[in-house]
A = this chain, B = another copy of it.
Amino acid sequence: MTTTPNAIGRLPWERMFAGHVADDSGDVITAILKQAGGDGTIAFSGGFPHPATFPKDALAESFTRILQDPASLQYGPTAGLPGLRDWFAGWLADHDGLRPAEDELMITSGGMEGLGLVVKCLVDPGDRVVVEAPTFMGALVSFQRASARTDTVPVDSDGLDVDALERLLTGPGTPPKLIYTIPDHQNPTGVSLSTERRHALVALARRHDLLIVEDVAYRELGFGDVRSPSLWSLAPDVVAQVGTFSKTFTPGMRIGWISAPAELVGQLVRAKQNTDQCSSGLGQLLLEDYGRSGRFDQGILASRAFYRARNRIMTDALAEHLPEGVRFTRADGGFFTWLTAPDTVDPDAFREAARAAGVSYVPGAAFYPDQRGEHELRLSYSRVDDATIPEGVRRLASALASADRR
């Protein structure tokens, strides 16, 4: 046996990769997922759920039972196991006011796979798509890799600006095929789309034959008592709802869903043959068991309270420590706060000062498809301990102050 590869030659990789591969986006996510922490840095960067919200006891309790089900360890249907789909269709009926038909719901291996499938089935190179600015960086990478042309609409404290979208749709050029939006506790800003705008958005989509791709990753983690209807429940004819159980169950089994018109779901299921063929049977059965026992709903309530408390600590610390002129959003749910520093802050000096101070975040540029975001950044409070948050904010505030050239 040899311990290192006995490489004789080297293939001419520079001319072998597909066209889109030259693009080096995607590295931000890779870096975040690699990040183990542990060097004393306080990491406000990754959008990780907190382990305290993971249902370890429930899993330990149901595992041996689940293992008796032949579906747990075998290949399963590409659209997902019937039992899980049945439970979750009922759950959507109870919580979202609408039950998807059997051919309108599929299980995915997480929200990102769901979005990837939608892009694969709909986006040809050069197609136009619309995103919020800022938006989830993973979506941007998906669209860039599909060689889409990505237009943006701004986000304010009521969510995406529907009037701006209308101007874009009635403007010149080929009409966009879809808009990707995160209406609830948006990643990265934490704000939600108002109910009024939701009605306006679906009406606009219907008039323009625009597919709305609704990412509901953080929908269940709202801090308030009321919430707006999902876009999918308002207009299942023009909305593909992409969801994940990573924030309400665990990311450790890679499970999400798509509720969408049957025409689209049929093609998405076919496309999933080329990713993983089917999602984990074991994970699907464990989730179904967790859901039918009522513990999924209990877990969501506990998670809301958990992240609400954490958000308050974060918001209080930001209000107390940030230098004058730095703005931040007040999230009504989810994991994130979005910071905007004044133009007088030097981005390079700030980056260096933050690294030296031992605090990490995701730079704003990752959330725009163009050259914006230099004075913005995303903070995630989801996985930083309560007691550590104020210290992390102090480090950030001092880095911002030291980089301000006023």
**Contact partner of A275 among B24, B109, B124, CB < 8 A?**
B109
Interface segment among A276-284, A306-314, A366-374, A396-404: the answer is A276-284
Contact between chains at B101 and A33 (CB < 8 Å): no
In the complex, what residues of B have CB within 8 A of residue A122's CB?
Answer: 16-18
Chain B CB count within 10 A is highest, among A11, A76, A235, A270, for A11
List 26 interface pairs A-B (beta carbons < 8 Å), by A numbering.
A1-B93, A1-B97, A1-B98, A3-B99, A5-B98, A5-B101, A6-B98, A7-B237, A11-B209, A11-B263, A13-B263, A16-B209, A21-B271, A24-B270, A30-B269, A33-B277, A51-B73, A59-B67, A73-B251, A75-B251, A250-B282, A252-B281, A253-B282, A254-B278, A254-B280, A275-B276
Contact between chains at B277 and A110 (CB < 8 Å): yes
Contact between chains at A5 and B270 (CB < 8 Å): no
A248 contacts partner chain B, Cβ-Cβ < 8 Å: no
A375 contacts partner chain B, Cβ-Cβ < 8 Å: no
In the complex, what residues of B have CB within 8 A of residue A204's CB?
Answer: none
In the complex, what residues of B have CB within 8 A of residue A177's CB?
Answer: 16
**Contact partner of A276 among B78, B109, B209, CB < 8 A?**
B109
A211 contacts partner chain B, Cβ-Cβ < 8 Å: yes
In the complex, what residues of B have CB within 8 A of residue A97's CB?
Answer: 1-2
Contact between chains at A110 and B276 (CB < 8 Å): yes
A359 contacts partner chain B, Cβ-Cβ < 8 Å: no
A74 contacts partner chain B, Cβ-Cβ < 8 Å: yes
| CB of A328, distance to nearest CB on chain B (Å) | 25
Chain B CB count within 10 A is highest, among A73, A78, A109, for A73
User: CB-defined interface of A250-275 with B at 8 Å, one 1/0 digit per residue?
Assistant: 11111000000101100101110111
What separation, in Å, do the CA atoms of A379 and B353 have in the docked complex? 65
A224 contacts partner chain B, Cβ-Cβ < 8 Å: no
In the complex, what residues of B have CB within 8 A of residue A142's CB?
Answer: 274
What separation, in Å, do the CA atoms of A236 and B10 have in the docked complex? 9
Contact between chains at B261 and A10 (CB < 8 Å): yes
A327 contacts partner chain B, Cβ-Cβ < 8 Å: no
Q: Which A residues between 316 and 339 are near B, CB-CB below 8 angstroms? A: none
A292 contacts partner chain B, Cβ-Cβ < 8 Å: no
In the complex, what residues of B have CB within 8 A of residue A270's CB?
Answer: 21, 24, 26-27, 30
Determine the residue in chain B with the shortest Cβ distance to A47. B75
Interface segment among A113-121, A159-167, A192-200, A214-222: the answer is A113-121
A72 contacts partner chain B, Cβ-Cβ < 8 Å: yes
In the complex, what residues of B have CB within 8 A of residue A113's CB?
Answer: 275-276
A19 contacts partner chain B, Cβ-Cβ < 8 Å: yes
A406 contacts partner chain B, Cβ-Cβ < 8 Å: no
Listed from nearest, the 10 A-B pairs whose CB atoms lie closest are: A73-B252, A73-B250, A7-B237, A5-B236, A109-B276, A252-B281, A54-B73, A13-B263, A252-B282, A75-B251
**Contact partner of A112 among B16, B63, B273, CB < 8 A?**
B273
8 additional A-B pairs beyond A26-B274, A29-B273, A74-B250, beta carbons within 8 Å, are A5-B104, A10-B263, A16-B211, A145-B274, A251-B278, A254-B279, A275-B276, A280-B283
